Structure 1
Amino acid sequence: MKTGIKPILWSLLALAMALFIVVPGLNVLALLFSLVPYTLLYTQVERKSFAVHVIVIMVVGCIIIDPFVFLSTSLLALIPSIYMGHLYKKGTPSITIVPKMTGIMLVLLMLQLLIIENVAGISLLSDLRKTLIELMNNAAADALLPIAWSNEVAESFVKIFLDMIPFIFLLMAFGIVVCSHYVARKLATMEGVVIPPFPAAKDWRLPRSILFIYLLVYIMQMMVDPLDTSFLTVALANLVPALSFLFSIQAVGFFYYLAHNRNWPKIIPVLIAIPILIIPLFSIIGILDAAFPLRKYFSKQT
């Protein structure tokens, strides 16, 4: 285990990234790569030394900014980083690490929201609701919306959006884990920690059972009132886009497969992947790829 300057540098970076969370412009980058310093620190020192580093970081951070803000942001990075560092030490494959870590990050994000609401007394959802209604009403007043507008319509749109907060948090958790793991794995590998990489993008395929689950959930969503407040309605409102996102990832794999099979330049599937992951409609390509042997039909015969 390393006991030199590198653990100190990772500790300083962990402190800096927790501070950057409150700096506009830097907070997004700090959040996306927040797991990197603690994960690498955990893989390079013994547990007792790791605890000492963490205590020093927490004390210094609480002196610099508000202790509640610093601790809440630091723990959001520290807790999953410890587990990711543990998985790194075990040599767990990336295809196992990312789903597990995404689940942990999702739970922690939801818990942090509850803590802020109930402990700090800051109603983020209420503030967000008021902001969204104000923005939509202003847009309606400026004739920027193509439909007849009223407060009831605004409330309906806001309710649907707020019901999808878990899915939004899922995307946030996935983004944090993927970005942090990509960088941390590269750096950990340079230090001799072996973490098997993801399968090549051209081999990304979902089990066909996911297709049937998606169809069932989609049909159920069509049968419920989107303005209903029941748990089932909220669950379906999050399950459908979550499953659609999985098929978007399969669609990316489909184009990587074509690029490999037809010897396209490497930049082409990367450029194609950007709109696929941003625009939900393109998930239909992944659905078709799961339902039918598209790769066989579109591939160059050898």
Structure 2
Amino acid sequence: MPDRTPQPHRSSRAAPPGEGRVVLAATPIGNLQDASDRLRSLLAEADLIAAEDTRTVRRLCDQLGVHPRGRFVAHHEHNEQASAAGLLEQVRHGAQIVVVSDAGMPVVSDPGHRLVQAAAAQGLTVTCAPGPSAVTTAIALSGLPTDRFAFDGFLPRRSAERRRAFEAIRAEPRTVAFFESPRRVAASLTELAEALGEDRPVCLARELTKLHEEIVRGDAGSLLAWAREREAGEGIRGEIVLVVGPATAQADEPAGEEQLVAEVEQLTASGTRMKEAVATVAAAHGARARELYDAVLRSRRG
């Protein structure tokens, strides 16, 4: 019988001369001196520069003294699926396409995933020019454990959804990073403290690598006090990465039924449907959702 074992996709580090490729290129997240010589060369020599915002990358090229010979094309979350097909057609004809986001590493909470996925499926060459990333920079500066960490993207806009996001990492043994809007920092820290406790280790990294870089470390309670004081005064501005430390051994101890029911009721009081609240709390504590649902009903019957 023929061997039907699935074979992995293989991608060479560099395409042979004349063969097209996709290059994911990291751009500075604040400090222009973090731009590598390789990034400059790629921007100058690319046939196409696929950018989240073409105005932003044009401005970057001007600041770096780079004069691209290729053309710029928009490649963002709203057109990525359609754009990817056209870009890969150019790669098949030998084009070198450089993919950049507004700042940092493409694909990481930015457009690019569908393009990479499609290119890999078609056997086209994809490589990377690594560089600045707000995620790894914040984690490195946080002072929290870095042997295991996770990135959960942007925190939700709605309070109830943010609360569920925090409840889901109650027993998380890894450090977790989130992106957040400066307008919602105090609200998010309030919900974090309520969901995970005021003693949960937290770090807030603001304006990384920029002139007004600020790293605030402490626990959820102290960072909440800092955020409230700052919002009442000069306000909080700039790009924010919120890094949450892993659960302690004490936090990992099994919670009793009364505590689980109380957490469900807290979520439902904030507007979460009971079924979703039960699922969130059960997942956070490793409990059985059906048994927890029945326990909530028994508690309500009194």
Normalization by structure 2: what TM-score? 0.23
Instruction: Output the TM-score relative to the length of structure 1.
Output: 0.23
Structure 1 or 2: larger strand share? 2
Structure richer in helix, relative to its length: 1
